[in-house]
Amino acid sequence: MQQTFESAVANVWQAAWDRGEVEALETLVSDDYLRVSKSSGKAANLSQLQGEILAIREAFPDLVTTVDAVVVDGTSAAIFWTSTGTHTAPFMGVPATGRQVQTRGSNFVTIEAGRIKQETVTWDGSELLQSLGIRHLGDALGEADGGVVVDSLSDEPDLEVMKGFNRQFVTGVTVVTTKEGGVPKGLAVNAYASVSLEPPLVMVCIQKTSSTYPALFASTHLGINILSNEQKPTVSTFASKSADKFAEIDWHAGPHGSPLIDGSSAALEAEIRERFQAKTHTIFICRVRHAEVSETAPMVYQAGRFFDSEGLSQL
Ligand SMILES: Cc1cc2nc3c(=O)[nH]c(=O)nc-3n(C[C@H](O)[C@H](O)[C@H](O)COP(=O)(O)O)c2cc1C
């Protein structure tokens, strides 16, 4: 007996999403199949969808999917589904959290000769992160605004202009620290800002490719050390990928264990309250729990160069 479109959808869905048999999709979709995400506005063909499914399965290997309903109306149909799974490997730059998620979506499809030709999905991978309680800067990135893509590349400045803009900004240099299995870890960071004094909130922005990032992401607390004029070698150490950056560094632990570097101009320990996903980076918003301020003058950083803040003339 020929299976109905409804049962074909349920069988192929489970084969692909629950068992990773992504080739099963070839029996359900047409050769020119296109899948459009309503939230990101992006389109994918079959092989891109297959890649996406395999990436999700790698991160959520125990995925179980239920097709809740398939409503067919002539040459179009709506598919409603629910998936559950445990986040056991990195996904979209987010290290494994061990948390279980349940996510729901609906796909509106057009059918041609019994196969799906085009599909509009109300869901994308970032919703899995949201289900994990990890916030995503979709709006700021122009990815989602009621399904409309609000930004376009054409009204963004050239990359070199943006780099030039950033070079005009003068900052200090910090070392952001944490511990991984009792081992101190850290990296040089100038994307630090004070957010508010009451309550005492600060933020740092960390590139997801940093080797310190998974440990930072998993930590409840982190340390932020403002480097002094006398710590130029410390910048090189923490801007490197060296395995044991603390080998030559004197430090002490904050009340919650975060490494605070001796000789810094100031150091604080803060509780991580939010981890906003911003594509290549994660913005950590932290509530300060402990701070130490010394008399040592801070180092100044601008356009790849370091300056002695005591040598600066006041305007
Ligand atoms: C002055 C300076 C500022 C930096 N600022 C940042 C920053 O704000 N965020 C970031 O992720 N990396 C920043 N970096 C780069 C990291 O320190 C660098 O990639 C480091 O090798 C990362 O080490 P890890 O991969 O061992 O964590 C900065 C480097 C320097 C020298």
- pLDDT of 130: 80
The helix/strand/coil state of 231 is coil
- Which residue carries 């630090």 as its tokens? 192
pLDDT band at 140 (very low <50, low <70, confident <90, very high): low
Residue 207 Cβ inside 6 Å of ligand 1? The answer reads: yes
- pLDDT of 138: 63
Residue 215 Cβ inside 6 Å of ligand 1? The answer reads: no
Domains 5-151 and 159-311 share a fold: no
What are the extents of the domains in the chain?
5-151, 159-311
- pLDDT of 1: 46
- pLDDT of 147: 39
Residue identifier of the C-alpha nearest atom 6 of ligand 1:
189
Lowest mean pLDDT among 4-8, 15-19, 177-181, 238-242: 4-8
CB atoms within 10 A of CB 298: 20
CATH topology of domain 159-311: Pnp Oxidase; Chain A (2.30.110)
CB atoms within 10 A of CB 169: 10
**C-alpha–C-alpha distance, residues 263 and 225, integer Å:** 9
- The mean pLDDT value for 184-211 works out to 97
Residue 278 Cβ inside 6 Å of ligand 1? The answer reads: no
**Ligand 1 pocket: which of 170, 171, 183, 207 to mutate (most atoms <8 Å of CB)?**
207
CA of 22 to the centre of ligand 1 (A): 39
11-27 pLDDT, tens per residue? 999 999 999 999 999 99
- Hey, CA dihedral for 81, 82, 87, 91, is it positive or negative? positive
- The mean pLDDT value for 209-238 works out to 96
- Provide DSSP, 112-152: ETTEEEEEEES--HHHHHHHTT--B-TTTTTS-STT-----
Encoded tokens for 256 = 């919650």
**Ligand 1 pocket: which of 185, 190, 237, 282 to mutate (most atoms <8 Å of CB)?**
190
Q: Name the CATH architecture for the domain at 5-151.
A: Roll (3.10)
Residue 301 Cβ inside 6 Å of ligand 1? The answer reads: yes
**Burial 60-99, CB ≥16 within 10 A → b, else e:** beebebebeebeeeeeebebebebebbbeebbbbbebbee
Residue identifier of the C-alpha nearest atom 5 of ligand 1:
189
